[in-house]
Amino acid sequence: MKAKINLKNIWGIIRILSVLGMLTLGAASSHATPSVLFCSPYGLEYGIIDLDYLRELNSEGYQVDYTESLEDVTWDRIRQ
């Protein structure tokens, strides 16, 4: 049986994981440019990831990436 999608909980998880990703920015000082990892439980589905916003960040000099699922969120991926 497929679980119901609760967007309020998903957004909470995304916020927490995004903050964790940003906190590691200071630890990854070996990178010359700042990077942001957006943690999406469903990739591009449901409009959780705004590709226009990612393009804006990239044009401002950020290295931008997103996950296809929460299984992709590992400490190694965050450190990248």
Measured distance CA(52)–CA(61) in Å, rounded: 15
Structure confidence by residue, pLDDT tens digits, 32-75: 788 888 888 888 888 888 889 999 999 999 999 888 888 888 88
Measured distance CA(49)–CA(40) in Å, rounded: 7
Structure confidence by residue, pLDDT tens digits, 1-31: 455 666 667 766 776 666 666 555 555 555 5
Residue 60, φ and ψ in degrees, nearest 5? -90, 0
**pLDDT value at position 52?**
92
**pLDDT value at position 55?**
92
Alpha helices, DSSP H only, in 3-50? 7-27
